Each structure stands twice: as structure tokens, then as C-alpha cells.
Amino acid sequence: MVASAATPSVFGNGSSTGLDRLEVGARASVESVSGERSVRRRLLEMGLCQGVEVELLRRAPFGDPIELRVRGYLLSLRADQARLVTVAPKR
């Protein structure tokens, strides 16, 4: 797996992490989306709003990009963008 340089969120309960760091099969709830304005806008528009549940379905061979289920559809993001989405993993 390719490790990424995601910086942990300063908000949240300490278990927050970048979406790219989620384990395969894990579910999480979106806390915030950072990054350049146009990128952030598009990520939000794709439904990655605060509080929405995401599930990491799989990683591509060589670890990148990743595939998510969000709002009932399948979305793929590169780790570069997934890292901009801070999530709180669910048990």
C-alpha cells in the first residue's frame, strides 16, 4: 500500500483521518473537505458533504486511486484528492 502524507485534522475527536488512509471495507463519516476552491467545490458537489457516510470499497492495483461508495453510487478518487477529505472512521 502506498502511504500518503495526509495531515490529521485539527478538529474532530482525534481519530479523524484522510479518506485515503481508510482501510478497505471501512466506513466513515465525512467531517470536512479542504483544498483549492474549485476542487473542494467539485468534491462537495459530488456529495461528500459534512456528515455523509462513505465506504472504502477497494484500492486500485498499486494502491491508487481508491473506490468509494457515497450516497449509493460508486466514486473513484486519486489519493491526492481523497486526502483532502477528512473523515471520522466508524466502528
Query: Toward another protein, which CB reaches closer, 28 or 85?
Result: 85
Q: How far is the CB of 78 from another protein (least distance, A)?
A: 4
Query: Toward another protein, which CB reaches closer, 13 or 38?
Result: 38
- Three state DSSP letters for 34-79: CCCHHHHHHHHHCCCCCCCEEEEEEECHHHCCEEEEECCEEEEECH
Please give the residue ranges that form the binding site for another protein (CB under 8 A). Answer: 33, 36-47, 49-50, 52, 57-65, 67, 71-78, 80-81
